[in-house]
Structure 1
């Protein structure tokens, strides 16, 4: 089985004080244990070639920790760089692995951290900080910018930031050395939608919108560097179960199948993509309580069930064979393995 690394929130969950014993967990062969104490490492990212993990502390003073996992029995924090932002929630590695792009939900900005060829931080502070401005119509969630994630636009010449607070995909041109230059707005979404995460296939962008739980498909125009909305649809018809809400979370594209997490209904919605890339809803899979993040690794779908205090995994072949929904709002059930992890938020393989 793949060795997995799970970042976690405090036991009481997101929004509670951090640094109360939570941290990084390692999973091997169906067993998991905490191996490091870190303040709310809610996003974990593996270096593509070096035995390093980057763990982002989602805290009032966010920090990116570089962790040496060359000895998995003795992982060591070898650098901790303050980002200068608050409530950091997402990491993206540059194409050349020479920079990390850090999205901050709290301060609503994007920070660039430089990396050396060996994957270690190049400086002991941020290289760039890009502020966002504006707000949306939802006074409870959109009183200010909330940068939630960053992704490469089709073609790789731009980084797009999903700003939940302003209902925008903000655009940055990628320059040598991982430097980002602000380049305006690639798309403005309907008011109150709350864009959160993105997946890319060819010239199409699939954006999950947390606040209205819609999946929006955009076509990228390479000449104008704009994302043009071409389709929108509800992610799932499953009624809320654990909480009285539908909060879309992560999105991932695997084998021409698009997966979208929805908290409240507590499902992973499964969409098939046509040859042209149009998403067509198939079914909603029971995911466990509050599916914040998930990834398909070595033939299994691994889900961080944040409020269920467990990680679930499903055979990917079972997901691919999942029958189409026969009744609107039905919940599909598949066999799964589970393991106890306190408030899991993110998973990475290394």
Structure 2
């Protein structure tokens, strides 16, 4: 039984105009076209293709990929959909970041947060050294500061390391937002901030830190910044997690270029020459540039440090047992043999 375009449209959830468009595109030609009047007629057997076409367009899959999907195996269609979703998620993240930057610019004078001075200084000390030392990559010589009523997040990366510290504000007023400031400029006010019981952080064109009757103004940098949260969200569960004495680990890194660790649940070893007691689970062999790992350890606090290793080629999480608000990621290096 042949169906008119209106009947078929109601059956598959597409408008008649959409069916005409998809016929013109060659994606869903009718089963029959009346030569006398040009009317299109469809067959019930075309319903699965029409509904798949409808669903693919509802997720905004581009027409060239829709053409491929309509004649592909279900597994291949699933791969196309997953790839498209990843693209949409990345675009959504970029859109949110752009909107946040715009809102910050438009409403920046309304954003004020009060932090404990020593806590602000600690966050700066821990995060700023991770920023890039050169301006080769715009924005990476900066610290990203994200504002929200629940916390301020300080972020820095040089592509090989990532440091993230959160601080809970004593007070917050205004809108959530984010700013970029030069890491070296921020580092220079760390000691000044530490001397204040409370430091107010105000965004008003630039970034202004207020301590009592004194203030320090820092220029805001207009640049793109890596989507660090995607990196954190993309970490897989660790195959090896080990806690080790921080000072002892720092000592064995002195004078070394690249270091290879053999780690198990009870120890961290460097060949036959070094063995540090450890507590953890899993086992792995992983390598680091000694100076990179040492910098992450120096920024941590407390006697112990926790290493979480997903796999030897993925970022390693370095956490402080005494401060859950600070996280560092360090890229391992490839080991020969």
TM bracket (short chain): under 0.3
Which has the higher Rg, Structure 1 or Structure 2?
A: 2
**Which of the two has greater strand per residue?**
1
